[in-house]
C-alpha cells in the first residue's frame, strides 16, 4: 500500500504553485537588486525557473534560467542588469513543460520598441490564439501561452501600450496577472475574473512596485499597498498611478481559494483578509465538523475529543492544526520536521535514496507521537502519493492510531487557471470515495472539511473559484487540455 511514493523531485502531494511575478519602477535605485529580493520573497510560488528583464529608458536587457532565484542570478549577472524599470518571474510550469525555453519573462523587439512580459496564470483559449498567430505567419519558439500573449501585444495597433494591452485583453480568456516591461515603463494587468493575485505598493524612495504577494512588497519597504483590481491596467510611475479599467470586472469575482488554503505566505493579506487567520479558522471549522460529523468524512466517532495529540504536516498546515487544537481541546505538538531544501536540489539521488521517498523530506519527532493517538492535519490530498508514506512514518515511530483531517473538501476536478493538479485520472478523489481513500492511504480515519465550512473560514460565500472541488468552472474549459499540449508541434 505504501510503495506509491513520489518522485524525488516532487516535493509533496499538494497542488503545485503557479508562479510569482514582480515589477519595479524605482528611479535612482538599483531596480535589479530590488527585483532579486522581491523574487526571493516569492520563491515559494515556483522553484523551476527564474528570470528578470531590466530597462533604462533606451534599451532592455534580460537574464533567465532553470533553477532557484539564487542559482540563476549571480553577482556577475546582476552587474549587467541596469536601469530604472524591471520585471521578474519565478516559475512553476502550467502551460508548457519545465524547460529553459519556457522560462520567463519573454522579451522581443517590436515596431514599438522592446517588450517583455511575465505571467502568472493560464489562458484557456491559448491553443486557439496560438493557431491564429501561426496562420498569420508568426513564428513561436516555446510551448508557453506567455509567448502567445507577448506576440499578440507586439502585433497590436494603437498609439500607446495601454491601448495595445486593452485590445489584447478582449481576446484573452482565463487567468492572467501580468507584469509588462517596455523600454520606459512597467505595467500591471489583471484578468477581469481576478483568478490570480496581484498587488501594488508605493516605494519609500519614490516609484512603485507590483507583485503576486504583499510579502514581496513589504520586503522592499512598500507602503499604501492595494490590490490591482480585476480588469485593470496600472502603469507604475514616480507619482500617482495611472489606472485604466480595461475590461469590466466579472461579478462575483473568482479568485483561487487555494491561495488561502496553501499557496500564499501566511503574512499575505488580500482585500483585508489575512491568510494566517483564514488557515487558523480552517482548522477551527474542521474541528467542529470532525467532532459533530458534519463534513465530508469517514471518521470513527470514538476518536471525538479523545485523541492524544494534533500534529500538522508543515508548513502551511501549522495554523490549521493550532485552530483544530484550540476548538477540540486536543493538545497540539510538532510531529514532523521538514527538510525544506532536499526536494529542490538538482542533484539526482541514488536508487536506494529514491526509494526513501518522503523520508528524505520529513523526519518524525518520535517522542511526540509514540504510543499516542494522532490526528494529522494537512491542507489537501491531490494524487494520494505522500499521505500514505507520512502515515507509515508515524506508525514506524510508534503512533497507536493515525487519523487524518484535511482543511478543504476532496479535490475531484483539475484546474485550468494556472494550478497544476493533473487531469481527472490523476486525482485520487475523482475516482474514489472518502472511505476508499482512507483505506488507500492506510489511515484509521479520514475527514475532509465541507465546502460550506471552508467558505465560513474564508469569511465569504462567493468571490472565489471552487472548481477543483465542485467541477463548476467560472468560464467554459476544455477538460482535455494539458499543460504540455503544445509540445508535439515543437519537436
12 contact partners, CB below 8 Å, separation of at least 6: 6, 313, 343, 358, 361, 386
How many Cα neighbours within 13 Å face the side chain of 11?
A: 22
Place of cell 493533473: 422
Pairing of strands 185-190, 232-235: antiparallel
- Give the bridge partners for 20, in sequence order: 90
Phi, psi of 188, rounded to the nearest 5 degrees = -115, 135
Question: Which residue is catalytic, options 19, 199, 408, 465?
Answer: 19
Q: Assess whether 468 carries a catalytic annotation.
A: no
**Grid cell digits, residue 460:** 465569504
d(CA 387, CA 313): 10
CA 145 to the chain's CA centroid: 17
Q: Is 224 left (phi over 0), alpha (psi -120 to 50) or beta?
A: left
Q: Which residues are known catalytic residues?
A: 19
Amino acid at each position: 500500500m505504501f510503495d506509491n511514493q513520489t518522485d524525488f523531485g516532487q516535493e509533496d502531494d499538494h497542488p503545485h504553485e503557479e508562479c510569482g511575478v514582480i515589477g519595479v519602477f524605482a528611479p535612482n535605485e538599483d531596480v535589479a537588486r530590488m527585483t532579486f529580493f522581491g523574487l526571493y520573497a516569492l520563491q515559494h510560488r515556483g522553484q523551476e525557473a527564474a528570470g528578470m528583464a531590466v530597462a533604462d529608458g533606451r534599451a532592455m536587457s534580460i537574464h533567465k534560467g532553470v533553477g532557484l532565484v539564487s542559482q540563476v542570478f549571480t553577482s556577475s549577472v546582476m552587474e549587467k542588469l541596469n536601469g530604472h524599470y524591471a520585471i521578474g518571474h519565478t516559475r512553476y510550469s502550467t502551460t508548457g513543460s519545465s524547460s529553459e525555453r519556457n522560462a520567463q519573462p519573454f522579451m522581443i523587439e517590436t515596431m514599438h520598441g522592446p517588450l517583455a512580459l511575465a505571467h502568472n496564470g493560464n489562458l484557456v483559449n491559448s491553443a486557439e490564439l496560438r493557431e491564429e498567430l501561426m496562420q498569420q505567419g508568426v513564428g513561436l519558439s516555446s510551448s508557453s501561452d506567455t509567448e502567445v500573449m507577448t506576440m499578440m501585444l507586439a502585433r497590436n495597433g494603437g498609439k500607446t501600450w495601454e491601448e495595445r494591452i486593452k485590445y489584447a485583453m478582449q481576446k484573452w480568456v482565463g487567468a492572467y496577472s501580468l507584469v509588462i516591461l517596455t523600454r520606459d515603463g512597467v505595467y500591471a494587468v489583471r484578468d477581469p475574473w481576478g483568478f490570480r493575485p496581484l498587488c501594488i505598493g508605493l516605494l519609500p524612495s519614490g516609484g512603485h512596485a507590483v507583485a503576486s504577494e504583499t510579502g514581496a512588497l513589504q520586503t522592499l519597504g512598500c507602503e499604501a499597498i492595494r490590490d490591482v483590481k480585476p480588469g485593470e491596467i496600472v502603469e507604475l510611475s514616480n507619482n500617482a498611478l495611472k489606472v485604466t479599467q480595461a475590461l469590466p470586472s466579472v461579478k462575483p469575482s473568482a479568485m483561487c481559494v487555494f491561495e488561502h488554503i496553501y499557496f500564499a505566505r501566511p503574512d499575505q493579506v488580500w482585500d483585508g483578509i489575512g491568510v494566517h487567520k483564514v488557515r487558523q479558522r480552517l482548522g477551527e471549522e474542521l474541528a467542529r465538523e470532525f467532532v459533530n460529523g458534519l463534513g465530508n468524512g469517514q471518521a470513527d466517532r470514538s476518536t471525538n475529543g479523545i485523541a492524544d495529540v494534533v500534529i500538522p504536516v508543515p508548513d502551511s498546515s501549522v495554523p490549521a492544526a493550532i485552530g483544530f487544537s484550540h476548538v477540540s481541546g486536543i493538545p497540539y505538538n510538532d510531529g514532523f520536521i521538514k527538510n525544506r531544501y532536499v526536494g529542490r536540489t538538482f542533484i539526482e539521488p541514488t536508487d536506494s535514496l529514491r526509494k526513501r521517498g518522503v523520508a528524505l523530506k520529513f523526519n518524525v519527532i518520535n517522542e511526540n507521537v509514540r504510543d499516542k493517538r494522532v490526528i494529522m492535519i494537512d491542507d489537501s490530498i491531490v494524487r494520494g502519493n505522500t499521505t500514505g508514506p507520512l502515515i507509515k512514518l508515524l506508525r514506524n515511530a510508534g503512533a497507536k492510531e493515525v487519523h487524518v483531517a484535511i482543511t478543504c473538501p476532496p479535490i475531484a476536478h483539475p484546474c485550468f487557471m494556472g494550478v497544476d493538479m493533473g487531469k481527472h485520472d490523476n486525482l485520487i478523489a475523482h475516482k474514489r470515495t472518502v472511505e476508499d481513500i482512507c483505506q488507500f492511504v492506510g489511515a484509521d480515519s479520514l475527514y475532509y472539511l465541507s465546502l460550506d465550512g471552508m467558505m465560513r473560514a474564508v469569511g465569504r460565500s462567493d468571490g472565489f473559484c471552487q472548481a477543483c472541488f465542485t467541477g463548476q468552472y467560472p468560464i467554459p474549459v476544455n477538460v482535455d487540455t494539458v499543460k504540455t499540449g503544445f509540445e508535439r508541434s515543437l519537436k
